[in-house]
Structure 1
């Protein structure tokens, strides 16, 4: 089975000694994110996120299907992740690695189980027809921060997505194309964002947004999911070194700030995309001044 090239003892020692002197290899402070870029494609629901050298593409799709028997009044929302050898030699096509399973579960808890999307709004005819929303996450390049980049990509894509409008006449459902009716945005309850912390030197040193080499040298990690209102959605600490409670509280405070910054960045990018799509349209009409 292919594996990611491991750090040599010299590289590991160099990284740890540099961190002990409050120095990171890329010159960032301990609580700094790498450059984050969010962009949208021509189709609704296509989002690309680049966090440093890590690149993630997410595409949202929708189809009409039958709801689950035990949830007749709810639609369906699923998340699928694909970690291909294109991103890293540690990933294999058609075979889930342990990391891919962990990433999928964390994203499920962070977004789907936190009820980020209002599944009741996806119901068309109770027990008969509903919308099935699917988020396909493709990792194109991997250099650490995979959960954070994937979560940001999914949340941005969900906000950007528009499903076709429908009309109901008895049991007959008519789906309108984008040319016939304005598409409908998804109903989102909140916007959870994942922030990953890495621990070193027995939990005394904390890094935000570690690169791949920094991840390979860490003693433990913790993933915090929170929305911009400061509501905690989940904490995932998958083993590793124990961490003092005061350090954890500091991580929570840092998460609040970073989540607000990321949420604002996504909102800004969405407004820019909406403006580009509406050149000469409704926005221009509403902002036009009357000639007097």
Structure 2
């Protein structure tokens, strides 16, 4: 399959590292002009350099904006008036007991994980529909279906993304625009590797083996029995953004290694 996104403009939020950066690289390789986003100018510049290392002739630009509030979304809209592909990847996560999660923390998760996608989809979807083509992808999580009791606040926002994506897909029916969610499971992102590093050194294991051990103990339902790579997640996103995925809309596309135990 040859995916060609030449002439398409893509915006990937939170794309200066991890899964977001891998998605930006994948879209750039497919020929899209990619706008990166990070919270600081320094992180954006590092992200641009990282994409150019993999795709030297990529069409790129970047926007520094914090999507934890409406001002950050407005900054992106001002700098990037029109896009064909929107990947809502911005998100925060972290374990915390339910009884210790106050209203302020709930609000911060809702603003970053849900409202950032609401605001940007509201800004760009109508233009996509008017032009007769567009792709919106929400980066959700297997935690949207397999709600983690130690991260209820996170799981709830990821479930909300699935509802939002499905509703937007129906709103955009018959228009040539598709809206989907991608649900990664445990993934060897920068943060995941950093989390494992200390334990791996302590036990004399490689990071790779520590990742396998973590998945098999913390996510025993995993079929592949290892973390996915960021590239494996990005591959699904790039496909969802392609011409070839034109009959896929309103879907929850899992890249969870089989963690969610369902045949549907």
Alignment TM-score > 0.5, same fold = no
Structure 1 or 2, whichever has the larger Rg, is 1
TM-score, structure 2 normalization: 0.30
Richer in helix (by share): 2
